[in-house]
Amino acid sequence: MKPYQVGITGGIGSGKSLVRKIFECLGVPTYDADSRAKEVMTSDAILVEQIKKEFGQEAYSPRGELNRKYMAEQVFHRPDRLETLNQLVHPRVRADYSNWLAQQTSPYILKEAALLYEAGSAKELDKIIAVYAPEGVRIARVVKRDPHRNAAAVKEVMQRQMNEEEKRNKADFVILNDDSVLVIPQVLQLHQQFVDRTTI
């Protein structure tokens, strides 16, 4: 039987990866779509050829590694080119996720993705958790975490993502990660709900 599928999403700096890792510590199998996207961009032969055809041979080094600097230049400030890249990558990540899901035996699993709604994969999941933190908190976190980014660069990423309020409204559950309440008890409560749901 296919596991119960729960999605985790949230904007940059919201702490969605932290939440995923807490679920992992509870023994829940998790799929990190953003990390897997980077992996399939070098390991999926179909996708590699599509990217080369669309963006040129320079997209990859002679050793087959993705030329991240070149690709960033191709899509930075160019929403149409970024959309083209996403249209190539998202279907291959979906296929990778399907293969991963078919191997899982746990009653429920988690899929983390920043663009869960934007990529259209939210509708394939049973429930969605949105991890929320105010914009100021998120900017401060990312600037501290990523020395190569300043506040303006973080805001630019935010503008390319779905509005946080819209994500909260669409989600089935919201985990607050704004330093006002503890995150772990919120995760434990949801974990118990999902376990109860899958053992009925």
Domains of the chain, by residue range, sit at 1-29+109-200, 38-103
**37-61 as b/e, with b when 16 or more CB fall inside 10 Å?**
beebbbebeebbebbeeebeeebbe
CATH superfamily of 1-29+109-200: P-loop containing nucleotide triphosphate hydrolases (3.40.50.300)
Determine the pLDDT at residue 51: 95
Determine the pLDDT at residue 59: 94
Determine the pLDDT at residue 49: 94
For the chain, 200 residues long, give each residue's pLDDT as a single digit of tens.
789 999 999 988 899 999 999 999 999 999 999 899 999 999 999 999 999 999 999 999 999 899 999 998 998 778 899 889 999 999 999 999 999 999 999 999 999 998 888 888 889 999 999 999 988 888 888 888 888 888 888 888 888 788 888 888 899 999 999 988 999 999 999 999 999 887 64
**90-127 as b/e, with b when 16 or more CB fall inside 10 Å?**
bebbeebbeeebeeeeeebbbbbbbbbbbbebbeebeb
Structure tokens at 34: 């953003």
Determine the pLDDT at residue 159: 81
In the chain, the amino acid numbered 89 is: V
- pTM for the whole thing? 0.87
Termini Cα distance of the chain: 14
3-class SS of residue 112: strand
3-class SS of residue 110: strand
